[in-house]
Amino acid sequence: MPNNLLKHFFLAGFLLATLAACSNQDIKPSGDESAESAEPGAGSAQEMPTREEIEAQAQEIPERPMDAETMALLLEAELALYRGELELALDIYEQLTSSTEDVGIAQRSAEIAMATGDPFRFLDAALYYLELAPESDIYAFELAVRALARSAEIEGAWALLSEYPERTYQLRLATSEAVRLAGQMQDKYQIEWLLGKILEAYGEDTENTEVQLSLGIIYEALESHEIARVYAERASVAEPDSMLAFRLRLNALIGIGDNNEAVKVITAWIEEHRDDAETRISLAKMLVSIDQQAALPVLEELAEDYPWSGELLLITAQIHLASDTPETAIPYYQKLAQLGEFRAIAFFNIARIYERQEEMELAAQNYAQVTTANISEEDMDMLFEAQLRLGRLRYLIGEDGHSVFEEMRVAYTDQAVSLFHEEASILMDLGSYPDAITILTQGIADQPDAESLYYSRSVAYERNNQVDLALADLRTMLAKDENNSMALNALGYMLTTNDGDLQEANNLIDRALELNPDDPVIIDSKGWVLFTMGEFEEALTYLQRAHDSLVDEEVISHLAEVLLNLGREEEARQVLQDGAENIPYSELIPETRTRLGLDD
How is 40-85 classified by DSSP, letter by letter? TTPPPTTSPPPHHHHHHHHHTSPP----HHHHHHHHHHHHHHHTT-
**How many C-beta atoms surround the C-beta of residue 115 within 10 A?**
18
44/246 Cα distance (integer angstroms): 19
Buried b (16+ CB within 10 A) or exposed e, 399-422: bebbebbeebbeebeeebbebbbb
Beta-carbon contacts of 346 under 8 Å, excluding residues fewer than 6 positions away, are 314, 317, 333, 334, 336, 337
Residue 532: in which H helix or E strand, if any? Answer: helix 520-532
52/448 Cα distance (integer angstroms): 73
233/248 Cα distance (integer angstroms): 9
Single pTM value for the model: 0.67
Quick one: which of 143, 62, 137, 132 has its CA closest to 99? Answer: 132
pLDDT along the chain (600 residues), means of 10: 40 40 35 36 38 50 67 86 89 90 90 90 90 84 84 81 79 76 73 85 87 87 90 89 86 90 89 86 88 89 90 92 93 91 92 96 95 81 94 95 96 95 96 97 94 95 96 95 95 94 96 96 96 95 95 95 94 94 93 89
556/385 Cα distance (integer angstroms): 34
Q: Nearest 5 degrees, angle CA 45-CA 46-CA 47?
A: 100
How is 373-404 classified by DSSP, letter by letter? GG--GGGHHHHHHHHHHHHHHHHHTTS--HHH
Dihedral angle, C-alpha 567, 569, 572, 573, nearest 10 °: 170
**Residues 146 and 177 sit within 8 Å (Cβ to Cβ):** yes
